[in-house]
Amino acid sequence: MAKLTLSVDDQVVSSAKRYAKQRGLSVSEMVGAYLSEVTNATSISERHTPILRSVRGSLKKADLKEYRKHLAIKHR
């Protein structure tokens, strides 16, 4: 088994450790499972995580001008 060093925000690591512990997993197992799923996908749509798949296409009818206006106000 290969060893991999990652740089991840401390808060993300803490959350991941809690999540893994609640499910009886290690963070390494979670990362390994994710990387395996992503790299074994045969099409671009299969590479999307479940969260991305769930929101894909939700903005098809969105008004881009209104969205840009919203962003401009939000990030003043």
Please state the domain extents for the chain.
10-74
The CB density around residue 48, as the number of other CB atoms within 10 Å, is 15
> Contact 27/16 with Cβ under 8 angstroms?
yes
C-alpha closest to that of 39 among 49, 31, 47: 47
| Token pair of 19 as six digits | 């999540």
> Could you read off the pLDDT of 9-38 as tens digits, one per residue?
999 999 999 999 999 999 999 998 888 877
| Token pair of 21 as six digits | 């512990």
> Could you read off the pLDDT of 57-74 as tens digits, one per residue?
666 777 778 888 888 888
Rounded CA-CA distance 26/23 in Å is 9
